[in-house]
C-alpha cells in the first residue's frame, strides 16, 4: 500500500469510510469482470495470487491518485455523500480515474452516467456562450447609443457591470 496513512486516518481521509468500502467492493467486482471478459484472466479458475496481481496492475491509476493527490483532491472526489447515491458516486469517481488509462473500463450504468455528464456540460457551455453573446450585443448597442464624449470609457463601464 503506497499511502497507508489515508487508510489509517479513516473518516477524516475520505478513503476508509462505509460508502468507500462498499464502492471498493463494487470496484473489485467490476475489475475482475472486466479482466475476465477481455480474456486477461479466468476469474473462476485463476489462483488468488493471479487475481490479485491482475487487479492491482489494472487499478494502478487509482493507486497513484490516492498516493499522489492532495488532501483537497481526495476530498473533492471522495468526501462522504449520504445515502445510496454516495456509494454510486464514489464508485463512479474511482471508475473515472481508472478509465483515464483503461478506456474500455466501466459498466453500462457508468458509461451512461459519463454520457449524460458530457451532455450536461455541452448544454451549459451553449447557455454560457449565448449569455456571453447577448452581453456583448448589449454592451455594443449601449455604447453606440451613448452620448459620452469618451466612448471607450462608456464601453469599459458597460463591460464591468
- Please state the three-class secondary structure of the chain as a single string: CCCHHHHHCHHHHCCCCHHHHHHHHHHHHHHHHHHHHCCCCCCCCCCHHHHHHHHHHHCHHHHHHHHHCCHHHHHHHHCCCCCHHHHHHHHHHHHHHHHCCCCCCCCHHHHHHHHHHHHHHHHHHHHHHHHHHHHHHHHHHHHHHCCCCCHHHHHHHHHCC
pLDDT at residue 116 in the model = 80
Average pLDDT score, the chain: 81
Calculate mean pLDDT across residues 10-32. Answer: 86
Residue 1 has pLDDT above 60, yes or no: no
Residue 139 has pLDDT above 60, yes or no: yes
> pLDDT tens-digit profile of 33-52?
999 999 999 999 999 999 99
C-alpha cell at 123: 448544454
* Greatest CA separation for the chain: 84
pLDDT at residue 118 in the model = 64
Max avg pLDDT among 12-16, 95-99, 151-155? 95-99
Q: Give the lowest-confidence range in 8-17, 57-66, 131-140, 142-151.
A: 142-151
Neighbour count for residue 38 (Cβ, 10 Å): 12
Q: 20 and 90 in contact (C-beta within 8 Å)?
A: yes
pLDDT at residue 19 in the model = 83
pLDDT at residue 6 in the model = 77
Neighbour count for residue 35 (Cβ, 10 Å): 21
pLDDT at residue 4 in the model = 73
Alpha-carbon distance 43 to 24, whole Å?
Answer: 17
pLDDT at residue 81 in the model = 61
C-alpha cell at 79: 468526501
Amino acid at each position: 500500500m503506497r499511502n497507508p496513512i489515508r487508510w489509517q486516518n479513516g473518516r477524516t481521509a475520505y478513503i476508509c469510510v462505509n460508502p468507500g468500502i462498499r464502492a471498493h467492493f463494487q470496484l473489485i467486482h467490476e475489475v475482475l469482470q472486466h479482466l475476465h471478459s477481455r480474456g486477461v484472466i479466468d476469474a473462476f479458475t485463476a489462483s488468488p495470487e493471479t487475481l490479485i496481481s491482475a487487479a492491482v496492475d489494472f487499478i494502478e491509476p487509482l493507486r497513484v491518485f490516492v498516493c499522489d493527490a492532495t488532501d483537497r483532491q481526495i476530498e473533492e472526489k471522495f468526501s462522504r455523500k449520504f445515502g445510496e447515491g454516495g456509494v454510486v458516486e464514489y464508485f463512479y469517481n474511482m471508475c473515472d480515474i481508472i478509465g483515464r488509462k483503461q478506456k474500455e473500463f466501466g459498466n453500462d450504468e457508468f458509461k451512461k452516467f459519463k454520457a449524460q455528464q458530457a451532455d450536461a456540460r455541452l448544454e451549459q457551455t451553449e447557455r454560457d456562450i449565448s449569455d456571453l453573446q447577448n452581453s456583448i450585443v448589449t454592451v455594443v448597442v449601449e455604447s453606440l447609443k451613448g452620448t459620452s464624449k469618451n466612448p471607450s470609457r462608456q464601453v469599459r463601464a458597460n463591460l464591468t457591470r
